[in-house]
Amino acid sequence: MFNFTGERPSNLGVTDGKLAACPGTPNCVNSQSDNTQSKIEPLPAKSIAEIKQVVESMDRTTIIEETDNYLYAEFKSKLMGYVDDVEFYLDPGAGVVQVRSASRLGKSDLGVNRKRVEEIRSKLQ
């Protein structure tokens, strides 16, 4: 119906073992964040393949990039077509999967990104 995809960010990926920081808006969560508003716990997965299996089972999801230690997927909302960029980084030093989920457009996401990560977490258990 609507299509609010926005442009794919150019700052995604892993740089020096870190995912991109969240912007100053409340529509992003990041397990590597120091900001309590955007902080979320990393995922307990053992591999990117494990994460990919869960992500692919979710509605309106497209895998954009995958390596042995990184997965980038886009999630599209049903009604308005908003796109969220979701990244997973298998952090060998921490023994967890770091995660970042952010809306491309707007300021508030009504908690959608946090809920999505928690849904993924529950499917991994």
In this prediction, residue 13 carries a pLDDT of 95
Distance CA 63, CA 24 (A): 26
Q: What whole-number distance in Å separates Cα of residue 57 and Cα of residue 18?
A: 26
- d(CA 96, CA 82) in angstroms, rounded, equals 29
Identify whether 117 is part of a domain.
Answer: yes
51 part of a folded domain:
yes
Residue 81 structural domain: 36-124
Residue 57 sits in a domain whose CATH number is: 3.30.310.80
pLDDT in tens, the chain (125 residues): 556 667 888 899 999 999 999 988 889 999 999 998 999 999 998 899 999 999 999 999 999 999 999 999 999 988 777 899 999 999 999 999 999 999 987 677 778 999 999 999 999 98
Q: How far apart are CA 78 and CA 94, in angstroms?
A: 35
